[in-house]
Structure 1
Amino acid sequence: MRGPHQERTRVGRDGRFELVEHVGSGGFGHVWRARDSVLAREVALKFLALDRLVGRRPNPERLAVVRDRFARESLIAAKVDSAFVARIYDCDIDGDEPFLVMEYVDGRPLSDYLGSRPLPLARTCRWSGQIAQGLAAAHDRSVVHRDIKPVNILVREADSDVRIVDFGLSRFIDATETHSQAGTPLYMSPERCRAEPGDERSDLYSLGCVMYEMVTGWPPFGDEHAEAFALARAHEEQLPMRPGQAAGVPAPLDDLIMALLAKEPRQRPDNARVVVRAIAEVERLLGDIGPEPSPEEGPADQAHRAGTGFADRLSAAELNVRHLTTQHGRDHHLVITARIELADLTGQSGDTRGAADLYDRIGRDCDDWYGPGNSLALDAFEGMARWVVARGTTRSQHTS
């Protein structure tokens, strides 16, 4: 893949880092997968676009100030120690361009998993809890991210755990005293929309926006095409539709997301560890794992007995689908069987809505691959109907 620095093969002191692949570019820089020749490990290099931060012809004194600030912010961010935060190993400079040396995360951004459909509740709770744990570790070190959004949350291929990336960059960008402000309007807290520095609770608001999108399929306000000014005004003045209005979202999860989206920082949860505990309570609400279902049990009965114990099994089932897809292709019968098993396991975990949605996707895919009315598609739509009925039964039992 071609990209910036394509004429170079090594960067850093004594050519320590061998550039392997240009991963992508953003508003304030670009990322390369690289090989650390000293420690013999794969890393990610994040180069910062100085022309966006200090202008195309900055004076030497200005450049020196920016480089020093970059080194200080990198040192602060490197102190964050969490299994759910991509580690920062070092910072260096290539010519006039500073770059971070970070843990390379082999995975995809959370944004790849989001769209018009909600995520299964078990996956939402698992990933949200991990993001909150990563934020808690950073906030314990007085490090605020300021730009929590789906593209800054990577999901590892190996275990489906998340890694938050780009800690420290937002404060550095804010401190350059340019007209640029770090943050993404779709996920930006009201105080950040007002160009205030914000604090740990600003990250919690952004987490609330991400969780809202996971359970509903869309952000709390607007979309990627909306004007930044209109989004800022919505964050400051409007209330989103409660996510609990989407069928299958438990009331405690609905309450937590709305608390995270409070306009005033003092009305949000006190800290990220409070959020971690609240998410764990939601997982427990879905039920503890029990014995294998008996033949007499229907989907509605199974939906009461699942919960946190299903997290590892769901993760393993998702990984199995990915591995089989890589080996055989999406339309192979082994992949379809694995997706059906994942759908049923999702329903048994208490997420009947997610199970119905997964079966619907299987049916639509089989329609596309094998033609309308084929037996695989009909079986999938029948499975969707079973879980739709189970969802209605479960809701009526909760309200009776």
Structure 2
Amino acid sequence: MDGSSYYIPAVAMGAAIAFKGPALLRGWRDPLLRSVGVLLALAGLVFLFAAPPTITAVNDITGIPNVSAPLVYCLLSAYSASCLVLIINWRGGPPEVTRRLSRRWILGYTVVGVTLIALFALGDTPVERLRDLDTYYANTPFIREMIVLYLASLSVAGVAMNFMCWRWAIQVRGRLRAGLVIIAFGSLCNIPYSAAKFTAVVARWNGTNLDGLSTNVAPMLASAGAQITAVGFCLPLAWRRVEDSWNAWSTYRRLGPLWRELKPVSVPEDRAARISWWSAAELLVTQRESDIHDGMLSLYPYFDSEVRSLAYGAAVAAGSSATEAHAEADAVMVTVAVRARTADPEGRVISSAEATAAPPATGSPFAHADGPRDLVRVSIALRRSPVVAAARGRATTGSESDAREPAG
């Protein structure tokens, strides 16, 4: 594998961090988001510092032959710990248990990292090896133990990750389960990676040469495993983000009929605070809901509980469920009120309502006796309900008698 085989995954991890950077900064206190950021950063650093050109540069800068070896091994150990910590935080549970388990894994792999550095310092590696240090120094005191320790720690992490992921995957469904299965397969690559390395090292111990397993096969397994694992961690989070955006856009679209119905009585656009159409979907939904609320408030004196009751009865008689009938009744009341407000440009009804000082609970624009209004359901009823269509037709043809002034 040449340098590009390492740098491309490193760039991919860097791009993932850049993409999630704002969310990571905003939610850095969240253990789950913090674990995701650390994992992506460590995965990128592993690929960056494991690339032969980077190994050469680090060795030249420090003046210590093969000093990149313990650096890369420590990064691999930290990456293994970050994967385990992320799974623990992702699964959740009592905070004290989550913190205790996370600290145990972090402490364990910190000890491994310190031991790796100590073993390298005690050993002797005068000849720089960019690709085959594991096999070249397989029989060197202390370096041999360093190699065995880092391979054993990776194997333990791979087995632990698979155990936790599969045990959790059988308890959940959907995108979370898909992500866990992908993570499990990615972690599974640690085991053949370590096996290939161990086989090549043991072959050296026995005087034979299977270096190709260590220099060619193992790096490909490591690259595939790290990238698959990162995809498994990111997929459910990205999926959730896409799903949230889709739901927000769907809500924005479904509120359209109600927003357009109330537009004639809402705050004029030149006096309203507007946001750009390319803003986040959540902001557009908030803006649309605000416009609807403004329109409903302006219609408050024109709301007629009797109109709503008659519409509710008609909707139930037409076969609607109680929930649907409530929405249709609200939609009819809004439709009649809009036309009554349009037919009263001088605001006589508003003046009358102010004079009588009707209590706010009577015909509140946002709630009724059965609970808060579902604006989306009301909006859908405006577009689909035959009861609403009939009421709109009557209000258009005739008469202001359908828009009675509320009792004082």
TM-score bracket, shorter-length normalisation: under 0.3
Q: TM-score if structure 2 supplies the norm length?
A: 0.25
More helix by share: 2
Q: TM-score if structure 1 supplies the norm length?
A: 0.26
Pick the structure with greater CA Rg.
2
More strand by share: 1
